[in-house]
Structure 1
Amino acid sequence: MAKKTSFTIPTRRGFLAGGAAAIGAPALGQASDPSAIDPETAAVLYPDPEPEPAVPRNISSFRSKQWQPYFSSLRNGAILVDTQSRALHYWGEGESSYRLYPSSVPLTEEMTRRGRTSVIQKVEGPGWAPTPSMKKRNPEWPDYIPPGPNNPLGTHALYLGWKYYRIHGTHDTRKIGRKSSNGCIGLYNEHISELFGMAKVGTQVLLI
């Protein structure tokens, strides 16, 4: 599993500040220990991740990137999700900050969407409902899970311009660094909390 840290990288404008997409709701305490989740719900939503073959480039590719090959400007900030290295990069407007976070990515190529979109809503304490396709594949899943430690979206979510797609937290930390989602991008709760505070409605997003 990727080390539970993020990184702050200097740029040519000097050292950067700091270390390492819906409806508003109160902030929730972070529960990173899956044992704190209701066992019955956890067994349905958080099954043990399937073993994966080694990903030789996963560690070596988890490194900083420059924004210029991917964005024409940093207006409103920019988020790059690299599904191959399973990492999310964030640049603040005017290169005011840079963050690099380990992430989960979709289970299959069919569930993976790539291209450009943007953050259209920010939700603290999100509720979750399976999409029609998720419900078809998993009819045993509940129709709705309210905010809390059983919620697959963790403590915060950034809603994207693509319907049903989000960058969100997770209470099941085993998912990070793995092919483990139904299409969304997952982060540790402490990382999505930090990103949530920096990103804004209108932040550019690119998935590659």
Structure 2
Amino acid sequence: MSKSNITRRSALILGAGALGTLAAPAIAATPLAPVRRNASSFKTQAWQDHFQTLGSGAIICDTDSRALHYWNADGTDYRVFPTSVPMTDELTRRGYTKIVRKKVGPTWTPTANMRKRDPSLPAFMPAGADNPLGTHAMYLTWPAYLIHGTHDTRKIGRRSSSGCIGLYNQMIEELYDITPVGMQVLIL
């Protein structure tokens, strides 16, 4: 009996090639399913549909399209940012609120409900690279609801938060710089 010259690597390559050849007709005959991507599908928003006046400006957080819409006080600056949104409808607070406080380098204290869902969460987390609030945070009139950054960029465009609206860190920094305390906010 002769010894075979097939190595483990060549067997894997041959096997993959054969599998691809055998599977190709089946794949071609199967209709393609839509692909879900980690990106927002923005819907156009008009501030006039939701606010009587712009006042100091307006923010609309659209949880369906996973986008934050920003207008300055005179409506000449309109920006749209991709966001993360709450994981479930139960965690989503909807309605009118406003920015009451802003913080660079926010600290994080998970709520009792967050720690109940995930007991591994710390009781407190200082500002820094591991902090889930990212580099900047804007606090709303509702306790524990924020618009903030995130270091975990995989969350943007997804239902991934415990109630907050999350943005890429560079985008929350941009929004933070142009948003005054007192700005009106609507979460849809």
TM-score range, shorter chain: 0.7 to 0.9
Alignment correspondent of 1:199: 179
Distance 2:157 2:142 in 1: 23
Q: Give per-residue Cα distances to partners, 1:150-207, cap 9 Å, x unaligned.
A: 0000000000000000000000000000000000000000110000001111000001
SS class of match (2:116): helix
Q: What is the DSSP-based 3-state SS (H/G/I as helix, E as strand, rest coil) of the residue aligned with 2:49? A: coil
Which residue pairs with 1:130 in the alignment?
Answer: 110
Residues 131-140 or 80-89, more deviating: 131-140
- Provide the C-alpha distance between the structure 1 equivalents of 2:133 and 2:76, rounded to a whole number of angstroms: 28
In 2, Cα distance between the equivalents of 1:65 and 1:182?
Answer: 24
Give 1:169's aligned residue.
149
1:88 aligns with: 68
Instruction: Give the corresponding residue for 2:170.
Output: 190
State the alpha-carbon separation in 1 of the partners of residues 58 and 152 from structure 2.
Answer: 26
Q: CA deviation at 1:55?
A: 6.1
Higher share of residues assigned helix: 2
Distance of 2:142 and 2:61 partners within structure 1: 15
2:87 and 2:72 mapped to 1: Cα distance?
Answer: 29
Instruction: Confirm whether residue 180 of structure 1 aligns to residue 160 of structure 2.
Output: yes
How many pairs does the alignment contain?
154
Q: What's 2:80 paired with?
A: 100
Letter in 1 for 2:65: S
The alpha-carbon deviation at position 65 of structure 1 amounts to: 2.3
SS of equivalent residue, structure 1 residue 127: coil
Q: Distance in 1 between matches of 2:96 and 2:138?
A: 15
Q: Given that residues 64 and 100 in structure 1 are in contact (C-alpha distance below 8 angstroms), is that contact kept between their aligned partners in structure 2? A: no
Alpha-carbon separation, structure 2, partners of 1:155 and 1:148: 8
Q: After the TM superposition, which residues 34-113 of structure 1 pair with which residues of structure 2 at under 5 Å, given as runs? A: 61-113=41-93
RMSD: 1.7
> TM-score normalised to the size of structure 1?
0.71
Residue segments in structure 1 that go unaligned for 5+ positions in a row: 1-52
After TM superposition, the structure 1 = structure 2 runs for residues 26-37 of structure 1, keeping only pairs within 5 Å, are: none
What is the aligned partner in structure 2 of residue 151 from structure 1?
131
1:87 Cα offset (Å): 0.3
Q: Secondary structure at the match of 2:89?
A: coil
Higher RCO structure, 1 or 2 (CA under 8 Å, sep 6+): 1
Partner Cα separation in structure 2 for residue 145 and residue 126 of structure 1? 9
Task: Structure 2: give runs of 5+ residues left out of the alignment.
Answer: 1-33
- Aligned with 1:68: secondary structure? helix
Three-state SS of the structure 1 residue aligned to 2:177 is: helix
Identity %: 55
Say if 2:115 is the partner of 1:115.
no
Aligned amino acid, residue 106 of structure 1: P
Return the letter of the residue paired with 1:78. Answer: A
Deviation per residue, 1:22-65 (Å, 9 max, x gap): xxxxxxxxxxxxxxxxxxxxxxxxxxxxxxx9669x76x41442
Quote how far apart the aligned CAs of 1:96 are: 3.1
